[in-house]
Chains A and B, each alone.
Chain A
Amino acid sequence: MQISLVLNGKKITEEITPDLLLIDFLRNHGCYSVKRGCETSNCGLCTVFLDKKPVLSCSVLTARTDGHAIDTLEGLQDEAKEFGAFIADQGAEQCGFCNPGMIMNAIALFRENADPTDEEIKEYLAGNLCRCSGYEGQLRGIRAFLEYKRQGGASCRQ
């Protein structure tokens, strides 16, 4: 079957099989930030935006994205750069395997709620699992990032 979608701002028309998962389609198009983690729709590593909403690309049929827009971390580099660098400075970075999914979902959180409470941060990022780095560092890092942004993006790095 043929589909057309907009991937990171670029229109793509392609023949696909009906059961092709979006994660495989994206990786076939060079979007290697999208990782296959749990295969049970739990870990959040494969997070991408479907029409600007974060979804698990391991659980979406590519066929269903016909006529829609998909964004991966590759297409959001400018937006991700500042947060990614800040969170690394905070020592709260995950390794390259889990980090893209976490950054994608954090961007979704900031877009939806520019001033989240701790509880709202925890709730929003609950679907991003990481066995290595834990979660306290990320919470602290995100808190500090929000404060940094509130101060106009300068002078608050710890």
Chain B
Amino acid sequence: MLKIKQYIKAESLAQAYELNQKRNNRIIGGMLWLKMSNAQVQTAIDLSGLGLDRIEETEEECRIGCMVTLRELEMNQSLERLSGGIVRESVKNIVGVQFRNLATVGGSLFGRFGFSDVLTCFLAMDTYVELYQGGIIPLEEFAERKRDNDILVKVIVKKTPGKYVYLSHRNTKTDFPVLTAAVSCVYKNGGQEPCKQRNHKSADFECKDKQKMGYDIKVVVGARPAKAICLRVSEEWSDKLENRVCQTAEIEKLARELAEQVQTGTNMRAGAAYRSHLAEVLIKRGLLKIYGDIQGIGGDRHAD
């Protein structure tokens, strides 16, 4: 059972950071995971009074405060447009509305949990985290780091034009996922040039035909059950997808090659072999959807 001796509502990030350097002190986010532990917390540090519960949109990015709830992510129209709906798709199966009104994006990402739908989703997008001491770093780099006593202040999602797909498999609704997968396809260099020419302000992908500049295709697989990993599709394969020379069988081959790089494990939800099979299936579905979006031909849902 969680025990807390003292509760402090931080008045500044500096105060919260200083308090957080002590081993027995903890920052509380939504508190849903922490509550499940038997931790003996000396001081619970609450960030809820620091105005970090807002999503701010600029021309270049969405800046999400660490105390923004998963429900707010789900309902936010800017993120819906920017992500092509995958933010909502990734959180909608997380327990229920009441849970998502408490769970925070900061807590979900700082924990770098293996089961995290949120981590898988944001890794697929052009995402950075702002740390109080560590500055702004890519989420991918942050996900690889070990936990420390810094504070995740904001999540920054760049408005990089692209297409995104999010898929997960669950044994039952509202449970942890057995496997998650996300595929993103963005212009190389963030699509800066064509977007500038067209005064581009959102994640609209339509400028691609005006100027070919190549795609970066990223595949993220989470709940393996270890934490999510990112895989890059080679330039050769990206060119094939862009130049409309891919058959379904070739995409299946690419999915197989990528799935072979995903190390899976066994837990109470599924065995490693089953997860490896699922990885291939979900990656293939994601790639087919992305390929359909690029070519305008629609993915073949019956291919598997």
A residues bordering B, Cβ < 8 Å?
1, 18-19, 40-42, 44, 47, 50, 53-56, 58-61, 63-64, 66, 105, 108, 123-128
Contact = CB atoms under 8 A, between A and B. Distances in A.
Nearest to A16: B7
Given A61-B4, A61-B44, A54 B98 contact: yes
A47 B98 contact: yes
A56 B7 contact: no
A108 B28 contact: no
B31 interface: yes
A1 B43 CA distance: 13
Contacts, number: 81
Contacts of A56: 98-99, 102
Contacts of B48: 64
A60 B31 contact: yes
Nearest to B96: A127
A127 B36 contact: no
Task: Assign chain B's interface to a size class.
Answer: 20 to 34
A61 B28 contact: yes
Interface of B: 2-7, 9, 28, 30-32, 35-36, 41, 44, 46, 48, 71, 92-93, 95-99, 101-102, 173-174
Given A105-B98, A127-B95, A1 B7 contact: yes
A127 to B, nearest CB: 1
A59 B98 CA distance: 10
9 contacts: A41-B95, A54-B97, A59-B102, A63-B44, A64-B46, A105-B98, A108-B97, A125-B96, A126-B174
Contacts of B95: 41-42, 126-127
Contacts of B71: 53
A138 to B, nearest CB: 14
A19 B174 contact: no
Contacts of A60: 31, 102
A72 B95 CA distance: 21
Contacts of A66: 9
Nearest to A101: B98
A22 to B, nearest CB: 11
A59 B31 contact: yes
A47 B174 CA distance: 16
Contact of B98 (A1, A19, A44, A61): A44
A19 B102 contact: no
- The interface centre, meaning the residue of B30, B31, B96 with most chain A CB atoms within 10 A of its CB, is B96
B102 A55 contact: yes
**Which of B35, B71, B97, B102 has the most CB atoms of chain A within a 10 A radius of its CB?**
B97
Nearest to A48: B98
Nearest to A56: B98
A61 B31 contact: yes
Given A54-B98, A54-B101, A127 B32 contact: no
B7 A53 contact: no
Contact of A19 (B2, B36, B93, B97): B2
A94 to B, nearest CB: 15
B5 A127 contact: no
B44 A41 contact: no
A58 B5 CA distance: 18
B35 to A, nearest CB: 5
Contact of A59 (B35, B97, B174): B35
B31 A53 contact: no
A40 B99 contact: no
Nearest to B30: A59
A41 B99 CA distance: 7
Nearest to B3: A19
Given A61-B7, A61-B28, A126-B173, 11 more contacts: A18-B4, A18-B6, A19-B7, A40-B36, A44-B96, A53-B71, A59-B30, A60-B102, A105-B96, A105-B97, A127-B95
Given A40-B36, A55-B102, A124 B4 contact: no
A89 B35 CA distance: 38
A53 B44 contact: no
A91 to B, nearest CB: 24
A55 to B, nearest CB: 5
Contacts of B5: 18
